[in-house]
Structure 1
Amino acid sequence: MDTKEDVRVGANKFSERQPLGTAAQSDKDYKEPPPAPLFEPGELKSWSFYRAGIAEFIATFLFLYITILTVMGFKNSTNKCATVGIQGIAWAFGGMIFALVYCTAGISGGHINPAVTFGLFLARKLSLTRALFYMIMQCLGAICGAGVVKGFEGKARYQMNNGGANMVNKGYTKGDALGAEIVGTFVLVYTVFSATDAKRNARDSHVPLLAPLPIGFAVFLVHLATIPITGTSINPARSLGAAIIFNRDDAWDDHWIFWVGPFVGAALAAVYHQIVIRAIPFKTRA
């Protein structure tokens, strides 16, 4: 065998088993599913629909219970060095999202956040019927979770610590807070899209198993960055639950920021992933 033949055989003997770069974007192993219908009345007759809503309620209830109690513990201590600190609060939020997404992903998709539900709805991953039901159940779960925390803490101590409600902190403007919520939610929802991308799941079997980890880690990192600005919401249900139970003017003055910011951030993430990353509107359907 001559040298040229050696090179030819050697170059093809150990070919790449997994396509890299643009080659990985081949559609041979995956077919884009049709978008979810805008209205799907048949869902209302399905037990799985209500089971998913209950799962969202319980998950958001547990999320508020653990995270707001962590915030209360931090604020109640006279020695901040002896508490979990801001890093611990961020871990509480990120860790609970990791655990709860893992537990509920197979039932409801593990949204636990109206902004995530909104972003996925814009991408036509679920119907408007289901999206609205999820948001209602998430908000109810958040209210109940914050209410249980108030019961544990007692009214006086709960009020003294602002009930864990989101507010614009001193030294920052409303514009700063709105921008922080938009960017923070963009990070979260973009991570959700990337971690749950069905096309990636079709190629890489490990992706769905790891999905809760990057989502929880994104929540952790965003909290580290923006707790000093707004206490970090990136979740309208979390802000609504704490505001309703705290129910002081301070919690309501800037409450709109914690709805507008997350919804705008979620919409931008949906547009970026669906149009720029996946280019779905430009693909022809069979």
Structure 2
Amino acid sequence: MAKEGEEMAPRGMKDYTDPPPAPFIDSQEFSLWSFYRACIAEFVATLLFLYITIATVIGVTQSKSCGGVGILGIAWAFGGMIFILVYCTAGISGGHINPAVTFGLFLARKVSLPRAFFYMVAQCLGAICGVGLVKSFQKSFYVSSGGGANVVAAPYSKGTGLAAEIIGTFVLVYTVFSATDPKRNARDSHVPVLAPLPIGFAVFMVHLATIPITGTGINPARSFGAAVIYGHKKSWDDHWIFWVGPFIGAALAAGYHQYVLRAAAYKAFGSFRSQGSI
């Protein structure tokens, strides 16, 4: 008989037990070097992410000879950098590089509140520094290109922009949960999955769909860093969309994965009923 919380694995596959949820507040983390190392990794990764991607946006905008690349080139830059950086930092910080991803994992009790908060701070600071580097190297191109800031493009409404950010972030965070699910590693060990690859492709595909609408945020740190350095009124008028939309999308993805696909609510209710019948 399997113990409570365990699932019987099909013959030839590994047994699986859900890991315990992360503590809501873990004060011991502040005494660990690994905690600060993870925050530094998130800062540096987001800095590099914004530097490469915003530079690509500016380069495509300015270079008429590369105009054929257009949206496709920008989408590849965002998706490719996420693939590279998640691969590099997954073993150190989990490779979030996005406050929406961190928020979704926090709601699913994968990270504690202090770790989630400091990750988001590190990501936003890294984004500001990354965009700042682009502006310092290419100031004239940066200003004339709109600084890579996210805004809702005409003729789309703010409601359409918000919906695009919610759906786009849902796709990303849903992919993160699915690609990093430890149950997949146990049950589908015969089908190797390199988690950064589907995550990078999710970013790539979402950018193809939503660049014409909002420039594609799906990452509040990316939008915040660009808005801070560019500083124009239009980018701040629409800025709330690039926090509210991704956070709603992340929450929906976390709930869908945990309570529908993984049936966490059903398991909890079943455990409660079994205890009540003792």
Same fold (TM over 0.5): yes
Q: 1:55 corresponds to which residue?
A: 41
Residue type matched to 1:41 in 2? S
TM-score normalised to structure 2 length: 0.90
Residue type matched to 1:226 in 2? T
Q: Mapping of 1:266-277 within 5 angstroms?
A: 266-277=250-261
| Deviation for aligned residue 1:67 | 0.2
Contact 1:243 1:252 in 2 (8 A): yes
Is it true that 1:245 corresponds to 2:212 in the alignment? no
| Deviation for aligned residue 1:206 | 6.4
From 76, 81, 105, give the equivalent of 2:67: 81
Query: What stretches of structure 1 of length at least 5 have no aligned partner?
Result: 1-21
Q: 2:194 corresponds to which residue?
A: 210
- Cα distance in structure 1, aligned partners of 2:57 and 2:124: 19
| 1:56–1:208 Cα change, 3 Å | farther
Contact 1:239 1:258 in 2 (8 A): yes
From 3, 10, 16, give the equivalent of 1:30: 16
Q: 1:10 corresponds to which residue?
A: none
Larger-Rg structure: 1
Residue type matched to 2:164 in 1? A
| 1:208–1:28 Cα change, 3 Å | closer
From 92, 100, 110, give the equivalent of 1:107: 92
Contact 1:195 1:207 in 2 (8 A): no
Is it true that 1:223 corresponds to 2:242 in the alignment? no
Residue type matched to 2:19 in 1? P
Q: 2:4 corresponds to which residue?
A: none
Is it true that 1:145 corresponds to 2:114 in the alignment? no
| Deviation for aligned residue 1:157 | 2.5
Q: 1:121 corresponds to which residue?
A: 106
Following TM superposition, the consecutive aligned residue runs of length 4 or more in structure 1 with deviations greater than 6 angstroms are: none
Query: What stretches of structure 2 of length at least 5 have no aligned partner?
Result: 1-7
Contact 1:53 1:137 in 2 (8 A): yes
| Deviation for aligned residue 1:204 | 2.6
1:25-69 per-residue CA deviation (whole Å, 9 max, x = no partner) reads xx9711111111110000000000000000000100000000000
| Deviation for aligned residue 1:92 | 0.2
| 1:88–1:206 Cα change, 3 Å | farther
